[in-house]
A and B are shown apart, each in its own frame.
Chain A
Amino acid sequence: MLGDGVIVASALAYMGILFGIAYYGDHRADAGRSIIANPYIYTLSLAIYCTAWTFYGSVGLAAVSGVDFLAVYLGPTLMAVLFWFVLRRIVRITKVHRITSIADFIGSRYGKSGLLAGLVTLIVMLGILPYISIQLKAIAASFGLLRQYPEVARMAASVQQPIWMDTTFYVALILIVFTILFGTRHIDNTERHEGMVAAAAFESLFKLVAFVLVGVAVTFVIFDGPGDLFQRAAAHPDLAPLLRFEVVPGGYGGWLSLTFLSMMAFLFLPRQFQVLVVENVNEVHIRKATWLFPLYLFAINLFVLPIALGGRLIFSDGRVDADTFVLALPMAEQMPLLALLVFLGGLSAATSMIMFETVTLSTMVCNDLVMPILLRANPRWLAGRSDLSGLLLSIRRVGIALLILLGYLYFRFVGESYALVTSGLVSFAAAAQFAPPVLIGLFWKRANRRGALIGLTGGFLVWAYTLFLPAMARSGWIGHDFVDVGLFGLEWLKPYALFGLEGLDPYMHSVFWSMLVNIGGLVYGSLPGRPDPIEQVQGSQFVDILKRERHDGDSLLWRGVVETADLYDLLARFLGPQRASEAFDRYAADRGGYPLQADSHLIHYTERLLAGAIGAASARVMISSIVMGEVLSIEEVMTILDESTQVLEYSRRLEQKSRELEAASAELREANNRLRELDRLKDEFISTVTHELRTPLTSIRAFSEILLSNSEMDVEQRSKFLSIIVKESERLTRLINQVLDMAKIDSGRIDWHIDDLDLRALIQDAINSTSQLFHDKTAMLREELGNEPVMIAGDHDRLIQVIINLLSNAVKFCPEPDGEVTIRLQPSLNAWRIEVIDNGPGIAPDQHKLIFEKFHQVNDSHAGKPKGTGLGLPISQKIVEHHGGRIWVESEVGQGSTFIVELPGKR
């Protein structure tokens, strides 16, 4: 009933439908009415993660190790949780920088490094081969099984047949044709393939339906519902352990490494990066996919365990490979249509993976491997060709063919010895190598090209040594010795137990070492030194992507002159004239025309368009080859960058300056007020001095005139008047001297003569020179000065002035007769204390401070009281303070006064 013809015809018909969908999708995209611009199509296209491996291999794995298979889906589910945090950044960056692939992304991030992009491509090429090979294997195996319907028999290994007899080979050829038709119809400047995405979404839906139908059939038709199925499995001694976690190889550690690997693979496998990031139409779709995609995974895994258990129960003799249970079960139960549907579902899963993976990869090979080499090797030859888009397409087509054929070869010569899952994990581990440079590069600005190169190379080598080479060895292509006893017989170089790390399953072992080397290399290589300017620019643009609204930073890097026409020619060569002129029209529409001489903005615009076609690194080389003045030198870029930071710095400083100015002007206002106050004080001082000078002068003039006009005055009165004149003259002289003293001290122009002196002797001198005053007033002076000399450092003449002033004040205010003054010299804490005590009228406490102010005199009504100048105490205070001491008065009205001087000095 199901002859080869039917199978092949339905397969081709199915492919035809897919092609129709893809064509329609592209057509709608060209017309500007995308059919994939909704979150559901986006989510379904993500499901190309579920390949033939899921379709067949999950059941195979579950049949052997129970719930182990779930780890492969737990990873993506966890990653989906992180979508909004991680994926959104990556998508935004990709849109802004017109990134076309994972290689382009990593290369771009690390200073548009062509070397890095090439390395990534190389890793992907090698790493992905096992993965492609298992898809081919799945198609071939399912076809081989189905064509024997109704017989369910183990298929003979295809390796024994010559290539031209091998159906897998023909499957590969057909896939090459379809992939080229799907994926390389034209060169697009965004490298998006809407038609393919639409087809992938359809395929995801199809395989889900097929798988669920089988599950339902097994659970409810072949068995009597899930209860019946699980009961029978639990009763079976071999199957019961599958329902528990203990069978997981490598235990929880193995689970963790599987989950981690699938998490990284989900994001960094080239085709996943393509559908997740490059084909993303709208960031908002990510939000819905965050919960919708895990739901899809749940649905497609729901029946894995029932099918696996059912298979084990029905094919208990082991004659059927567990990897083919999905197909074998409907066959054994005589359900030909379901079997055919399952075959098409598996085909669907395998082809979508192969097509997306190889298209993506061929773009990378073309942009990041072949073109850079051609550009470097012979730029003139390239420059001489008018339309390069044909060349690009050819390179890609060859790339696709080559990749699928390589996958076939791997399948034929290596892959036979592995189950589906294990081969896939080798690829997963390779893809996981991109996690450090991408993820760390997203959040750490200092990660640089050197670090990424060291890390990636190291991680890749470890991966190759611990997973890829042992796989080759296992199939007999290279000697097996190094796996068993270590390279050169060195135990610690055994690929499955590096440095004696044993007891892990090979994947966990490899992941551990490669990630250690990779992350370590990245961090170690990035730490020293300063990154290149272009690395800095890219680094901060990637890390700060969500903070920026506009992304002009790049255009800083182009300077120099180029004719707009030259830019157009360059673009036309890679995109074709039609797309190039469309792009320039768009530019003109946006910016209101374009200049004859392209500015840096237009150059940058062209570079981004070109980057979409040939990758960032190559685009940079191409642009720099035609822009006169070339790329800015590193120094110049640094200068530009520095200048912009300098502008920021400058404005920051301006703000600070203006704040400082405000503060300064406030200070100035303050100072001005102080000055005005001082000026007022000075006016008052002068006015007061004038008054004080005029007062004695008035008496002098008045009595002089009286004497002059009264020549017959009696002698007694004459001499009284004359002595008044003399006294007032003395007062005037004293006043003038003190005003000068005060002025000198105030302005700091006084010369101080500080010497060691004996304070006791100094006081004695002062007493001697005032003895006449005491004698005149018959006042008594009591001396309490001690017997020892008191040595301090001070200005002798000034200090004696202070003591004389205090003594004369004291005697001046004492009562007459019975005036009593005591002068005392005694030590106090770290100082010498001189007290002058009188029994005069005393001073009210509110005057204690005022008497030390200039011209402030304690006025009272007692006429005939001796008048001072009002400067004695202020001058004394200045002198004492200059010596580091202090002077004050202690007194009550009616209790006499005590003036105290404290001078610092050794005791």
Chain B
Amino acid sequence: MANKILVVDDEPNIVLSLEFLMKQAGFQVRTASDGEAGLTAITAEQPDLVLLDVMMPRKNGYEVCQAIRANPDWKAIRIIMLTAKGREVEREKGLALGADDYITKPFSTQEVVERVRELLAEAS
């Protein structure tokens, strides 16, 4: 059974590209365009992994990450943070909040796919 991926980002073109990449890699993909919509989507159906943008309206990525980690039912969800702010502080902040990986925009498509696969393999 294919793993379920949730893409949360407010940039429609980035969502579109990630959706294409994940589907191509054989995952089941859903999308959300802001933090709250992302959490609603998780509640509706728990994904195996979330690709989570940091700078978003209505709950940014950090808040969403915190909310996921605060819920013990969602312990199994892997989180990869995506951000255009490339500074080390932000990376550490994300990891500290419970993200499993951190990828800087613009990203290499190949790398994103590889990281997702690795994380899912670790989990299973």
Contact = CB atoms under 8 A, between A and B. Distances in A.
A569 interface: no
Given A705-B110, A724-B16, A861 B58 contact: yes
A556 interface: no
Contact of A861 (B16, B57, B86): B57
A192 to B, nearest CB: 93
A864 interface: yes
Interface stretch (A296-304, A397-405, A688-696): A688-696
6 contacts: A690-B85, A698-B106, A700-B106, A702-B17, A706-B20, A724-B16
Contacts of A702: 14, 17-18, 21, 106-107, 109
B48 interface: no
Given A860-B57, A863-B10, A705 B109 contact: yes
Contact of A694 (B17, B21, B86, B108): B86
Contacts of A699: 11, 13-14, 17
A710 B25 CA distance: 12
Interface residues of B, number: 29
A705 B110 CA distance: 9
B81 to A, nearest CB: 14
B20 A694 contact: no
B114 to A, nearest CB: 13
A701 interface: yes
Contacts of B110: 705
B33 interface: yes
Contacts of B109: 701-702, 705-706, 709
A860 B14 CA distance: 17
List the 3 closest A-B pairs by CB distance, nearest first. Answer: A859-B57, A863-B33, A702-B17
A interface, size bucket: 20 to 34
Contacts of A859: 10, 57-58
A728 interface: yes
A697 interface: yes
A859 B109 CA distance: 27
A724 B16 CA distance: 10
Interface string B25-41: 00000000110110000
A695 B105 contact: yes
Given A687-B87, A691-B85, A700-B106, A706 B33 contact: no
A698 B85 contact: no
B86 A695 contact: no
A803 B8 CA distance: 35
A703 interface: yes
B84 A690 contact: yes
Contacts of A694: 84, 86, 105-106
B55 interface: yes
A697 B18 CA distance: 14
Interface string A668-705: 00000000000000000001001110110111111101
Contacts of A691: 55, 84-85
Interface in A728-763: 728
A691 B54 CA distance: 11
Nearest to A704: B109
Contact of B14 (A690, A698, A710): A698
Contacts of B57: 859-861
Contacts of B11: 695, 698-699, 867
A369 B96 CA distance: 107
Q: Is the interface of A mostly helix, strand, loop or mixed?
A: helix
Given A698-B105, A861-B36, A864-B12, 8 more contacts: A690-B84, A698-B106, A698-B107, A705-B108, A859-B10, A861-B34, A861-B37, A861-B58
Contacts of B17: 699, 702-703, 706
B34 A687 contact: no
A861 B84 CA distance: 19
Interface in B50-99: 55, 57-58, 84-87
A695 B12 contact: no
Contacts of B36: 861
A855 to B, nearest CB: 11
A863 B12 contact: yes
A700 to B, nearest CB: 7
Given A694-B84, A695-B105, A702-B109, A861 B33 contact: yes
Contacts of A690: 84-86
A692 B108 CA distance: 18
A779 B24 CA distance: 38
Contacts of A728: 13
A698 to B, nearest CB: 4
Contacts of A860: 57
B9 to A, nearest CB: 9
A632 B105 CA distance: 88
Contacts of A701: 106-109
A724 B84 contact: no
B14 A706 contact: no
Given A700-B106, A706-B21, A695 B14 contact: yes
Contacts of B105: 694-695, 697-698
A595 B15 CA distance: 102
B95 to A, nearest CB: 19
A686 to B, nearest CB: 10
Contacts of A697: 105-106
Contacts of B16: 724
B60 to A, nearest CB: 11
A697 B107 CA distance: 9
Nearest to B12: A864
Nearest to A703: B17
Contacts of A695: 11, 14, 84, 105
Nearest to A709: B109
A522 B110 CA distance: 109
A695 B83 CA distance: 9
Interface string B99-117: 0000001111110000000
Contacts of A861: 33-34, 36-37, 57-58
Contacts of B10: 859, 863
Interface string A714-730: 00000000001001100
B56 to A, nearest CB: 8
Nearest to B84: A694
A857 to B, nearest CB: 9
A701 B107 CA distance: 8
Nearest to A710: B24
A356 B21 CA distance: 130
A706 B17 CA distance: 8
Contacts of B37: 861
A698 B54 CA distance: 14
Contacts of B86: 690, 694
Nearest to A701: B106
A694 B12 CA distance: 14
Interface in A247-266: none
Nearest to A865: B12
B85 A687 contact: yes
Contacts of A687: 85, 87
A551 to B, nearest CB: 75
Nearest to B56: A859
Contacts of A703: 13, 17
A706 B107 CA distance: 12
B4 to A, nearest CB: 21
A141 to B, nearest CB: 120
Nearest to B31: A863
A690 B57 CA distance: 18
A494 B33 CA distance: 122
A699 B16 CA distance: 9
Contacts of A706: 17, 20-21, 109
Contact of A698 (B33, B34, B84, B87): B84
A885 B45 CA distance: 55
Contacts of B24: 710
B10 to A, nearest CB: 7
B59 to A, nearest CB: 11
A708 to B, nearest CB: 9
Interface string A632-669: 00000000000000000000000000000000000000
